[in-house]
Amino acid sequence: MPKEIIQGNFQDQILWRTFNYEIIKNIYEKYSGTIIIPMTVCNKNYFDEIIGKLLTDNIKIDHYILGASKETILKRLSKRHDGKESWPAQQIDICINGFKELMDKSIYIDTNRLKINEVANIISEKSDIKLMEDNSIEIIKKIKRGIVQIKHIKIFG
């Protein structure tokens, strides 16, 4: 959306919430595999509009909250060059507080001291998903992780 018409949080746009519900439902109806959707929704009403509606449609969902302290999140954001004044940093308190309202509908994982692969293993175990073995040598794994991190770096804007 053009910057001129976006006001506040993009999730406040009903079109965004409707689109996410529709696209997830469409994928679910056409794909028989596991669907993993990394998305931060911490507003209980928006959660109900997307996830609650999918559950009402009898779509099985395991919803995870990947929690961390504000300090940990700020350190992670700084690695991708999002400073303390960036939009993601400004959302931290809102998300932490919003997640408290979703705890009864979610599986909480404290990620403060966990590596990415440890989080993935916890989720795969709890959701009964069999992960494929990564038989890459360690240097290749590090290069792959580095590429993902580079893609998240914001140089402009």
Give me the tens of pLDDT residue by residue for the chain, a chain 157 residues long. 677 776 778 899 899 999 999 999 999 999 998 888 988 999 999 999 999 999 999 999 999 999 999 999 999 999 888 889 998 899 999 999 999 999 999 999 999 999 988 999 999 999 999 988 888 888 988 888 778 777 766 554 4
Burial 73-83 (b: 16+ CB within 10 A, else e): bbeebeeeebe
Predicted TM-score of the model (pTM): 0.80
pLDDT of residue 66: 95
The pLDDT assigned to 155 comes to 56
What per-residue confidence (pLDDT) applies to 152? 65
DSSP 24-89: HHHHHHH--S----------HHHHIIIIIHHHHTT-----EEEE--HHHHHHHHHHTT--TTSHHH
* Predicted pLDDT of residue 145: 79
SS3 109: strand
